[in-house]
Amino acid sequence: MLKLYNKQLQLKAYLENAFKISYTQQFNAIWTAAFSLPFDDPKNNEIKALDFLELFDNGKRIGMFRIIPIETVKNENEKTITYKCEHVLATLLSDVLFRYHQMSNYTTREVLEYLLSQQEIKHWRLGKCDFVRYFHYSWENENTLLGPIFSVPKPFDEQYAWTWDDSIENYPWTLNLEKASTEITGEIRHRKNLKGIKRTNDPTDIITRLYLLGYGEGVNQLDITKVNLTGLPYIEAPAHIIEEYGIQKYIWVDKRFENADMLFSSGQAFLNKKSTPKVMYAVESSDYELIDPYKVEKYEVGKLVRIDDDDLGIIDVRLMKKGKSDVTGRPLDMSLGIGDILEDLGTTQADIEKRQQINELYSQGATNIDSRDFQDNCDPDHPAVIRFKIPDDVVNINEMILTFETQKFRAYERAIKGGGAVVSSTAAGGGLTQTSSSGGGSTQTSSSGGGSIQTSSTGGQSTVTSAGGGGATVTSSSYVEQHLMSGVPQNSVGTENWGYHMHEVVIPGHNHSVDIPSHTHSVSVPAHTHNLNIPSHTHDVTIPNHTHDITIPPHKHDITLPDHTHAIEFGIFELNDTPSKVTITVDGTTIPFDSTSGDNINLVPYLTKDSSGNIQRGRYAEIKITPDNLARINATVTSRLFIQSRKGGKF
């Protein structure tokens, strides 16, 4: 039975005349269905493209589909209209992810809820999610939501199953991400329901060594060397498999991956699947579920079924595909695809039909050369500072080098204008300052000849003293009396003793009285000169050991500068001296280099790193060049960067 609904999920009609009803259920993929109506059935007028259809298989509900292409066949034998359908999971093909979307370090549930939130019409919501994983996801310009949603469990290292509840009563429908079931729900064996079985063992596509490459190009293409414990760009199957099948190499490139951990995990799951021969079972059987009296047999896609064959033995395999070609005409005929019938969308999306894979329209990025030039004066206290931004969207930094030279310090004028002012110095305390002790010594001048020096002639003059009163002066008494005797002594030798006589004069005691009348003294100095003779001579000066004591009292100085200007002389003036060495620091780390010039100095080892060992993005890098003297630095920082164009507009 088929029920037709409009786009608002309102029941329009029962398609009771439908025939050749078929459907195909495939594990982790979009189911399909088809049916036909007679050309003249009036219900054809009710059916519109993208209307919804509920399909039943002999009373068992299969699911909700929507109508896509309508094929009309009109010939001599039949006049029919055939309708093809796809499961309502395909409604997620109608929405897109425009521009760039990134989810890093979010849980699996949070990522799925974000993707489902991008629906224009909320047909689906998230139900059960059995996984809690943290991966880096990014999508850009996806033409569907289904592809990104199906890509979420791709890097998981265990099997998973997409299940859903698409009933009308449960709208919006519920999408679940569950761990793949290990329950055996049905059995297929001879003399019960097994009509035929075909087993294909195909080792042609076996892979034992897998090289993994992701986003980027050239040397910037993502690989797994940083997350692989071996440090190699490939992973290998277990030793016993390699021993049996040898080294079978394959390069797996999926540019949707921008995270090495995700690339590694997904590649490991892919290798696990490809490291053993592909075994496929094609089974033709009867749908025992319809005739099982106990109603225990179920053949559900994604569940395990047991095959009991006389030649192949008993095997438990996962049901990957189930289909019926005519539900009404041959209801028991059923075809089953078991095992590796087809890779699921979650592990090999690049090989699945375009509508069910992640769109590969990515801006892969490009390698760019960024050059930062710097020229400026500097000194030991003011280093040359080169700062530049490392953007967030830089994928790889291939190289960052510094080239510089030291030149003479450069000035551009010689004076500046200045107004007058009174400048008062700060008060300074006085003090006693004593010089160091100095030894004395004798210093002799050079010999000098004597000479006669004549003063200039000067006229004489008369000098009169002031008048003074006269007076009488009486001397004091010298003695009372004095006797003086004279004559020829008796018996004088050589003379005759003739005329001998003696005179005696007696001076009695007396005194003298002198009268000095009033008078003046007149002194006349005639015109004259003086002659001075200086003989040849030397001077000896002796300086003994001594010190000097200087006392400076507290004082201050007032300096008055009158208003004035200085004429400016413009030009380029260079100092004669240049530094003898420089110190270079990169993000605070001093590098072992002190020459005054350098070419292609590798800065990568000294730039600040993040927790994963990569150069930190979204910040300013800083390079300081400090000379030991005044200098001018001429420098260039050249970077080779691999970037993505995911920011900004088109201006």
284, two tokens: 């033709």
Q: Which of 180, 198, 216 is the last residue of a domain?
A: 180
Residue 304 is predicted with a pLDDT of: 86
Residues 127 and 84 in one domain: no
My answer on whether 100 and 75 are in the same domain is no
Q: pTM, whole model, 2 decimals?
A: 0.50
Half-sphere exposure of 475 (CA within 13 A, CB side): 8
Give me the percent of the chain exceeding a pLDDT of 90. Answer: 35
Do 14 and 37 have their domain in common? yes
Structural domain includes residue 374: yes
**Residue 82 and residue 110 in one domain:** no
The mean per-residue pLDDT over the stretch 504-525 comes to: 74
Domain CATH code at residue 131: 3.55.50
What is the rounded average pLDDT of the residues 383-405? 89
239-248, 402-411, 471-480: lowest mean pLDDT where?
471-480
Give the pLDDT confidence score for residue 237 in this predicted structure. 92
* Residues 84 and 117 occupy one common structural domain: no
- The verdict on 117 and 84 lying in the same domain is no
CA distances from 640 to 169, 224, 404, 499 (A): 58, 22, 18, 159
Q: Does residue 65 lie within any of the structural domains?
A: yes
List of residues 6+ apart from 245 with CB closer than 8 A: 203, 206, 208
pLDDT of residue 483: 65
Does residue 283 lie within any of the structural domains? no
Q: Kindly report which listed range (73-87, 341-355, 380-394, 552-566) carries the lowest average pLDDT score.
A: 341-355
Q: Are residues 7 and 82 in the same domain?
A: yes
Per-residue pLDDT, 184: 84
Compute the average pLDDT of residues 117-137: 91
Considering 262-266, 418-422, 459-463, the range whose residues carry the highest mean pLDDT is 262-266
Whether residue 450 is contained in a domain is answered as no
What's 321's DSSP letter? E
Mean pLDDT of the chain: 79
CATH number at residue 612: 2.60.120
User: Does residue 172 have a cis peptide bond before it, meaning omega lies within 30 degrees of 0?
Assistant: yes
184-189 and 304-309: which strand pairing?
Answer: parallel
Q: What are 581's two structure tokens?
A: 């060495």
In the prediction, which pLDDT does 352 show?
A: 35
Q: What letter represents residue 152's amino acid?
A: V
Least Cα distance to 518 among 550, 456, 472 occurs for 472
Cα 97 to Cα 146: distance, rounded to the nearest angstrom: 10
- pLDDT above 80 (res 434): no
Q: Read off the pLDDT band of 139 (50, 70, 90).
A: confident
Which of 88, 109, 135 finishes a domain? 88
Among 112, 145, 180, the domain boundary falls at: 180
* pLDDT higher than 90, residue 396: no
Residue-wise pLDDT for 459-468, tens only, equals 555 555 555 5
Residue 545 pLDDT > 70: yes
| Helical (H) or strand (E) element with 263 | helix 260-274
Task: List, for residues 504-514, the tens digit of each pLDDT value.
Answer: 777 777 777 77
Residues 68 and 140 in one domain: no
Q: Specify the pLDDT at position 650.
A: 44
The two structure tokens encoding residue 215: 């986003």
Asked if residue 103 and residue 164 are part of one domain, the reply reads yes
**Structural domain harbouring 31:** 2-88
Examine the pLDDT at 78 and tell me if it is beyond 80.
no
The two structure tokens encoding residue 326: 């005519």
Highest mean predicted confidence (pLDDT) among 199-213, 370-384, 391-405, 514-528? 370-384
**What total number of domains does the chain contain?**
3
The C-alpha atoms of residue 602 and residue 524 are separated, in whole angstroms, by 110
Helices (H), 447-557: none
pLDDT tens by residue, 143-152: 999 999 998 9
For residue 205, being part of any structural domain is answered with no
384 and 402 within one domain: yes
Same domain for 51 and 80 = yes
Q: Is the pLDDT assigned to residue 645 strictly greater than 90?
A: no
Residue 239 CA neighbour count, 13 Å, CB half: 0
Q: For residue 407, is it within any domain?
A: yes
Residue 154 lies in a domain: yes
pLDDT at position 298, please?
A: 77
Evaluate whether residue 118 is within a structural domain: yes
Quote the pLDDT of residue 360.
33
- On whether both 82 and 125 belong to a single domain, the answer is no
**What is the pLDDT averaged over residues 203-228?**
86
- Distance between CA atoms of 112 and 122, rounded to whole angstroms? 14
Q: How confident is the model at residue 482 (pLDDT cuts 50, 70, 90)?
A: low
